[in-house]
Amino acid sequence: MRGFLAVAQREVVERRMWLVAAVVAGLIPLAGHLLPWVSADNAVDARVTLALVLASSLLVAGSLLLGISMIGTELGERRLGFHFARPLSAAAIWWGKLTASFLVVMLVGVLVLLPTALVSGRELPGRNADDGPLLAGLVAVFVLLVLLVGHALSVAGRSRSWLLTSDLVAALLIGAIVWAVAMRFWFADSATLFTRLVESTAFAVLVGLAVAGWVQVAVGRTDARRGHRALSATLWGTLGVFALAIVGYAAWVFSATPSSLGRLSEVMTAPGGSWTLVSGSSAGRGDFAPTFLLDTQSGRWLRFEVRARWWVAPMFSADGRTAVWLQQTEGGRRDQQQVLVADLSASQPRAVATSLVLSEDAWQVRLSRSGRRLAVIGEKNLSVYSLPDGGLVRAVRVDVGSGRVGLRFLGEDELVYGVWAKGDWLNPVDVVLRRLDIPSGRLEESGKLNGARYRDFVVLPGDPRGELLLAFHPREEGLELVLHDARTGAARASLLSQPDKPLARAAFLFDGRIVVGESPAVTGGPARVHLFDREGRVVRTIALETDELGRIGSEVAPGVSTVSLGRDEYWGGRNGHAVLVNVDQGSIQNLPEGYLPVPVSGWWSPGRVPAEPGGACARLFRSPEGALVRYEPTTGGFTTILATRWPS
Amino acid sequence: MTDHASISSSVAGFDRVTVRYGPLLAADAVTLSVPRGCVYALLGRNGAGKSSLVRCLLGQQKPTAGTALLFGKDAWRTRRSAMQRVGVVPEEPDVPPAMTAAQTVAFCSRLYERWDGTGVAERLRRFDVPTRVPVGRLSKGQKGQLALALALGPQPDLLVLDDPTLGLDVVARKDFYEELVGDLADRGTTVFITTHDLAGVEGIAERVGMLRHGTLVLDEDMEALKARFRRIRFGRRPAAQPAADEALGALGAVRVAGGDWGFEAVVERFGEEPYERFTSEGGVVDPEARAMSLEEIFIAVCGEERGGAS
């Protein structure tokens, strides 16, 4: 310790002119208002700006120059022997010099800013107690990093050996590895993992450089080349181990299987069959959400690995045997998306990249019920492709302009799209509907849908055949739920007024009938579930004894809808229970407490059709513990599919 | 020859030390020892490997092979503790140029257990070394005296001097050696010195080693060295040449030159008896044997390729 302090003190004394320069530089901003282009109004800004520029410049220059000269200059001028001829350990020499250089640079920054802080302290960044320590910490890390980099460059440069080439190769190699892992995290939408990687890389570089400097001094002593060898071996060894560690960690992160899921965050069922997309968190994997296409019957699964997952959702054919999704091309350009197809009926389903690559003009993409046609609409084109070969079936010119667009198949040979001006999410919009006859290529205006709330037009599901749609229309008092013809936009019937929470309270049954829930807040009495026929006529109204109405889920059997009761927070809730409402008979069956229908996400996707009644995907629930389970109508029990859990 | 036991018991030593810089061999299995209280002068031409050996001895450089020893221990491993007992004057002044002598002395005084602050101050005063001026602005002589003062400050058991008078003028060299001799007389410090100043070191060195292209070609006491080297001038009659050459060979002639004035031979195994035999040869005329200076011996050993000439 005595040696460390002696070296540090000596180093500070030797660098004292930096402190003198900082004191002088600190006084310059006080005269900032004398600059010809500075007015009295912005004198404070000018002073603060000048102080920050001077402080930053001196910090950068000081860090670099002191880093270069800390050891390198004495090594190059053969004066390092002065220290090694004394009873000083290598640790005392290295850490003493490093600490002193660091303190001098930091002190330089403080001395430059101090006069301005005393005069105009409130205007300086980091003046708040909240961000001050963080800013100081970031500056300290930056200074230390530049010091150490300067030292390493200085030692490497002075050795003038072939090791410089290997240094460059190692730096490029490790940089490439870190970059590749970082990009993998980035495109997996793992902001936390990406941030942690950046932080841990900075930490590893800092530690690697600091330890390498120590080893260089300890092993190389006054021998520049030997020191360079030691520095390189330690630095690249450390960073190499780090690179291997992050590669291993990334491999582990992305090797998750459905059983790795700790908590489900997303379920997206196919309309038919038993396949569903599941996504969730996994212990030790940060915010990366492993995502799979899972067969809830057989347990087969397919890793749903896509870059930029947050905006990618699979589209299923009506029978659930085909899944289609888009993925950025390998180059990582977001405006180039490749279409992938998975045949889920295969014994070992796998994603197959088609030859179809969509450009930035692909605003909305829809899959036909058969899964054999893909419609793509953009600003100027509406195209229909055949799958899986990717051949162009039809392309027509459209003029969406800068508006918004919604697209849906009405059958294999017919498409309807709506265009409306960009507006507020909750404001009514006037939608112009156009219809494309695919075989003939004829495009015509088919109708209008005026005054529908944009959010609801997008959100509410269509009927399985795509002929009907629901929209909320803002009225003077509340909202009116109207059933429309999807082709012409014509209003068929007004179903209800003042429905609350429209997002969760209306659903088409598989046969096109409509179930709408009214909560006690609307009725003033018990909650009610109304059944409408395809023409919008009320068929039946069923009262439910509950204080709060949740969501209307799928049909566990034809005509038997699942309705959750109580407060059903979208994914975070544990409480509440569900009932099975037989809308044909008007009967109600309670399910055990805590079993709620899984909220089927993908709700933003217009044209989403309900799951086939009684199918595996229509019977998915989450258990009170958070597991993904399937309701078995024959026994009234539940079969666990994924033993996921709510966080403890 | 120096054996392992004597190296281990010596103050400083080299046990088969080899130093390589890539393909360049700076020292080739050098083995020598410096006994306690001895002043050992290691001589060699530029690039002979002296400074490399000094750096190895000071634990500043790891030998490619072999071991440099300080107080019987591996200098590379025990450098830090050994330096408590070692004073060093480097080939080039290495005191940080921005520091004053006073700051340098203050720095060093904190590091040693036996720091003779009074002695250091006295030496600096005696040689008019300014203590408030940055070292970079001192004269070479002043830097040398400062270096010696710093080296003697810890009252070392071993003083390592790496060509300490390099670049000093005659007066500064004289002052340097007088100071050194004074300290030696007072404390009997062991000294390991490498130098080109053969005249300066001749008066104080008790043992001499000579390096030639990294190989230690000579390692013996100064007295014995000087006793066995002689420069012999003689004339001779042609008829007696074979017998004279044989006698000269017995004296260990390392160089023979001839001219109108006669012949001159440098011999390395001078002795009364072989010299008598040489002079008694009928063909040798007016023989005269003269003692050689250290410089002459060094030139004879290291200056040129060895070998006789007719």
Which tens digit of pLDDT belongs to each residue from A400-416?
Answer: 877 778 888 888 999 98
Q: List residues of chain A with CB under 8 Å from any CB of chain B.
A: 2-3, 6, 9-10, 13-14, 74, 78-82, 84-89, 219, 221-223, 226
Q: What is the mean pLDDT of residues A158-166?
A: 84
Mutation target vs B (from A12, A16, A80, A84; most B CBs, 10 A cutoff): A84
* Residue A111, min C-alpha distance to chain B (Å): 22
Mutation target vs B (from A82, A222, A229; most B CBs, 10 A cutoff): A82
Contacts of A14 in chain B (CB under 8 A): 96, 98-99
| Structural Rg of chain B based on CA atoms | 22
B58: nearest CB among A6, A13, A84: A84
User: Which pLDDT tens digit goes with each residue over A446-495?
Assistant: 999 888 876 555 555 677 777 888 888 888 777 888 898 888 989 999 98
Mutation target vs B (from A10, A18, A19, A229; most B CBs, 10 A cutoff): A10
* Residue A251, min C-alpha distance to chain B (Å): 42
Chain A touched by B94 (CB under 8 Å) = yes
Contacts of A80 in chain B (CB under 8 A): 94
Nearest Cα residue to B149 out of B101, B185, B214: B101
Domain boundary assignment for chain A? 1-158, 160-255
Contacts of A74 in chain B (CB under 8 A): 94, 96
Alpha carbon of A189 to those of A199, A293, A310, A312, A646: distances in Å?
Answer: 17, 18, 7, 11, 22
- CA dihedral angle for residue B253, residue B257, residue B259, residue B264, rounded to 10 degrees: -40
Phi and psi at A609, nearest 5°, equal: -110, 150
Chain A touched by B88 (CB under 8 Å) = yes
pLDDT at A503: 46
Contact B90 A80 (CB under 8 A): no
| Contact predicate B283/B237, CB 8 Å | yes
* pLDDT grade for B208, boundaries at 50, 70 and 90: very high
Q: What is the mean pLDDT of residues A434-452?
A: 92
| Contact predicate B60/A84, CB 8 Å | yes
As a residue count, chain B comes to 310
Q: Which of A461-470, A500-509, B119-128 has the lowest mean pLDDT?
A: A500-509
What element of type H or E holds A238? helix A224-254
Nearest Cα residue to A52 out of A33, A35, A28, A17: A28
Region class of B215: left (phi > 0), else alpha (psi between -120 and 50), else beta: beta
The structure tokens 């030159």 sit at B257
What element of type H or E holds A249? helix A224-254
Q: What is the mean pLDDT of residues A191-210?
A: 94
pLDDT at B306: 47
User: Which is it for the CA torsion A126, A131, A136, A138, positive or negative?
Assistant: negative
| Contact predicate A375/A392, CB 8 Å | no
What element of type H or E holds A548? none
A222: nearest CB among B55, B80, B84: B55
Indicate if the pLDDT at residue B308 is higher than 50: no
Average pLDDT for chain B: 85
Q: What is the mean pLDDT of residues A352-360?
A: 85
Across A447-475, b (16+ Cβ under 10 Å) vs e yields bebebbbbbbbbbbbbbbbbbbbbbbbee
Indicate if the pLDDT at residue A310 is higher than 70: no
- Please give the single-letter amino acid code of residue B309: A
Contacts of A75 in chain B (CB under 8 A): none
A84: nearest CB among B79, B95, B96: B79
Contacts of B92 in chain A (CB under 8 A): 78-79
Q: Which of A50-54, A359-363, A618-622, B274-278 has the lowest mean pLDDT?
A: A359-363
Q: Which of A130-144, A218-232, A290-304 has the lowest mean pLDDT?
A: A130-144
As a whole number of angstroms, the distance between CA A238 and CA B269 comes to 60
Which residue did the predictor score with more confidence, A643 or B9?
A643
- Classify strands A301-303 and A315-316 as parallel, antiparallel or unpaired: unpaired
Contact B58 A226 (CB under 8 A): no
B170 contact partners, CB below 8 Å, separation of at least 6: none
Contact B60 A74 (CB under 8 A): no
Q: How many CB atoms lie within 10 A of CB A182?
A: 18
Q: Which residue of A has its CA nearest to B159?
A: A85
- Classify strands A538-544 and A549-557 as parallel, antiparallel or unpaired: unpaired
pLDDT at B251: 84
User: Which pLDDT tens digit goes with each residue over A545-584?
Assistant: 877 777 788 889 998 988 877 665 544 455 678 899 999 9
As a whole number of angstroms, the distance between CA A553 and CA A515 comes to 10
Task: Report which listed range, A501-510, A570-579, B153-162, B245-254, is most confident.
Answer: B153-162
Q: Which residue of B has its CA nearest to A91?
A: B80
* Residue A161, min C-alpha distance to chain B (Å): 11
Domain boundary assignment for chain B? 4-224, 230-291
Which residue did the predictor score with more confidence, A90 or A335?
A90
Contact A81 B58 (CB under 8 A): yes
As a whole number of angstroms, the distance between CA A506 and CA B145 comes to 98
Contact A80 B94 (CB under 8 A): yes
Q: What is the mean pLDDT of residues A97-118?
A: 92
Contact B61 A223 (CB under 8 A): yes
Chain A touched by B146 (CB under 8 Å) = no
Phi and psi at B229, nearest 5°, equal: -100, 130
Contacts of B75 in chain A (CB under 8 A): none
The CATH fold assigned to B230-291 is: Alpha-Beta Plaits (3.30.70)
pLDDT at B160: 93
As a whole number of angstroms, the distance between CA A252 and CA A286 comes to 12
Nearest Cα residue to A4 out of B110, B140, B199: B110
Q: Which residue of B has its CA nearest to A217?
A: B60
Contact B94 A82 (CB under 8 A): yes
* Residue B141, min C-alpha distance to chain A (Å): 18
CATH no. for B4-224: 3.40.50.300
- Cβ–Cβ pairs < 8 A, chains A and B: 75
pLDDT at A602: 46
* pLDDT grade for B198, boundaries at 50, 70 and 90: confident
A222: nearest CB among B60, B84, B98: B60
pLDDT > 90 fraction of chain A, expressed in percent and rounded: 41
Phi and psi at A127, nearest 5°, equal: -75, -25
Q: What is the mean pLDDT of residues A162-174?
A: 92
pLDDT at A123: 65
| Contact predicate A620/A598, CB 8 Å | yes
pLDDT at B240: 58
* pLDDT grade for A372, boundaries at 50, 70 and 90: very high
Indicate if the pLDDT at residue A140 is higher than 90: yes
Q: Which residue of B has its CA nearest to A16?
A: B98
B98: nearest CB among A14, A85, A222: A14
Average pLDDT for chain A: 85
Q: Which residue of A has its CA nearest to B91?
A: A78
pLDDT at B130: 92
Contact A221 B61 (CB under 8 A): yes
Which residue did the predictor score with more confidence, A105 or A421?
A105
What element of type H or E holds B187? helix B170-187
Q: What is the mean pLDDT of residues A417-446?
A: 86
Mutation target vs B (from A88, A215, A221, A223; most B CBs, 10 A cutoff): A221
As a whole number of angstroms, the distance between CA A387 and CA A339 comes to 9
Indicate if the pLDDT at residue A334 is higher than 70: no
pLDDT at A358: 86
Contact A6 B111 (CB under 8 A): yes
* pLDDT grade for A648, boundaries at 50, 70 and 90: very low
User: Which pLDDT tens digit goes with each residue over B65-108?
Assistant: 999 999 999 999 999 999 999 999 988 888 888 889 999 999 99
Q: In the numeric block, which tokens belong to residue A464?
A: 């399985």
Contact A223 B103 (CB under 8 A): no
